[in-house]
A and B are shown apart, each in its own frame.
Chain A
Amino acid sequence: MKKNKTLWLPDRSKYPEHDSNGKPIVDLQSQKHTKLWQGPNHPGVTGNMSLELTLSGDEIVDAKTHVGYLHRGFEKLMERRTYMQCFPLSIRMCVPEADSNEYVLSTCVEELAGIEIPEAAKWLRTLALEMARLQVLLRVVPGIGATLSLGLGSQWGMYMREQILDRFEELTGGRIYHMYMLPGGVRGHLPDGFKKRMEQNLKDIEQFVANIEDLIFTNSVFKKRTVGRGIIKPEWVSQYGIVGPNARGAGFKRDVRKDYPYLKYSELNFDPYVGKDSDIYTRAQVRKHDLLMTVDLIRQILDKVPTSGDLRAKTPNVLHWEIPKGETYVRSESSRGEYGMYMVSDGSKYPRRVNLRGPSYTHAVALLEKMLINANISDVHAIMVSLQTCPPEIER
Chain B
Amino acid sequence: MENIIKDIESRFQVSDYVQQRPELAYATVKKELAIALITHLKDIEGFTHFVLLTAVDWLEENKFQLTYILNHPDKKVDLGIRVFIDRANPIMDSAHHLWEQVATYQRELKEMFGIDFPGSPRVDEDFILEGWDDIPPYRRDFDTLQYSRDTYFPREGRSTNDPAEHMKKKLYPDEEK
Interface residues of A (CB under 8 A from B): 21-22, 67-68, 71, 73, 75-77, 79-80, 111, 236, 238-241, 254, 259-260, 326-329, 331, 338, 340, 342, 344, 352-353, 355, 357, 361-362, 365-367, 370, 394-395
Q: Known contacts A328-B24, A342-B54; is A254 also within 8 Å of B73 by CB?
A: yes
- Tell me the bound Cα distance from A240 to B52 in angstroms: 11
Contact status A344-B69, CB under 8 Å: no
- Tell me the bound Cα distance from A338 to B73 in angstroms: 12
Q: Count of chain B residues with Cβ under 8 Å from any Cβ of A? A: 39
Q: Which of A111, A240, A344, A365 contacts B21 (CB 8 A)?
A: A111
What B residues does A340 contact at CB under 8 A?
51-52
Stretch at the interface among B5-13, B122-130, B151-159, B168-176: B122-130
What A residues does B56 contact at CB under 8 A?
344, 352-353
Considering the complex, which residues of chain B in the window 91-122 have a beta carbon less than 8 Å from any beta carbon of chain A? 99-101, 103-104, 121-122
- Tell me the bound Cα distance from A12 to B134 in angstroms: 43
Q: Known contacts A342-B67, A355-B54, A362-B104; is A238 also within 8 Å of B80 by CB?
A: no
B23-55 to A contact mask, C-beta < 8 Å, 1/0: 110100000000000000000000011111011
- Tell me the bound Cα distance from A79 to B59 in angstroms: 13
Q: Given A259-B73, A329-B78, A342-B67, output 9 extra A-B contacts at Cβ < 8 Å.
A: A68-B127, A73-B144, A76-B137, A238-B48, A238-B50, A327-B80, A344-B56, A357-B69, A361-B104
A-B contact pairs, 12 of them (CB 8 A): A73-B137, A76-B142, A239-B99, A259-B76, A260-B23, A327-B26, A329-B52, A342-B54, A353-B55, A357-B52, A362-B104, A370-B100
- Tell me the bound Cα distance from A327 to B66 in angstroms: 13
The 6 closest A-B CB pairs, nearest first, are A68-B128, A355-B54, A357-B52, A353-B56, A239-B100, A362-B101
Contacts between chains A and B (CB distance < 8 A), count: 92
Q: Which of B20, B24, B101, B137 contacts A239 (CB 8 A)?
A: B101
Contact status B24-A329, CB under 8 Å: yes
What B residues does A326 contact at CB under 8 A?
18, 20
Interface residues of B (CB under 8 A from A): 18, 20-21, 23-24, 26, 48-52, 54-57, 65, 67, 69, 73, 76, 78, 80, 99-101, 103-104, 121-122, 126-130, 137-138, 140, 142, 144
What B residues does A79 contact at CB under 8 A?
140
CB proximity of B171 to chain A, nearest CB, Å: 15
Contact status A76-B24, CB under 8 Å: no
Contact status B127-A342, CB under 8 Å: no
- Tell me the bound Cα distance from A67 to B100 in angstroms: 18
What B residues does A77 contact at CB under 8 A?
144
- Tell me the bound Cα distance from A367 to B100 in angstroms: 9
What B residues does A355 contact at CB under 8 A?
52, 54
What B residues does A238 contact at CB under 8 A?
48-50, 99
Contact status B144-A241, CB under 8 Å: no
- Tell me the bound Cα distance from A73 to B143 in angstroms: 13
Which A residue's beta carbon lies closest to that of B98? A239
- Tell me the bound Cα distance from A22 to B48 in angstroms: 26
- Tell me the bound Cα distance from A125 to B56 in angstroms: 30
Contact status A76-B52, CB under 8 Å: no
CB proximity of B112 to chain A, nearest CB, Å: 8
CB proximity of B111 to chain A, nearest CB, Å: 10
CB proximity of A329 to chain B, nearest CB, Å: 6
- Tell me the bound Cα distance from A67 to B125 in angstroms: 12
- Tell me the bound Cα distance from A239 to B101 in angstroms: 6
Which B residue's beta carbon lies closest to that of A370? B100
- Tell me the bound Cα distance from A327 to B48 in angstroms: 22
Q: Which of B54, B76, B100, B126 contacts A353 (CB 8 A)?
A: B54
- Tell me the bound Cα distance from A395 to B137 in angstroms: 13
- Tell me the bound Cα distance from A254 to B49 in angstroms: 11
What A residues does B23 contact at CB under 8 A?
260
- Tell me the bound Cα distance from A366 to B78 in angstroms: 23
Q: Which of B65, B99, B128, B140 contacts A71 (CB 8 A)?
A: B128
What A residues does B127 contact at CB under 8 A?
67-68
CB proximity of A90 to chain B, nearest CB, Å: 16
Which B residue's beta carbon lies closest to that of A67? B128
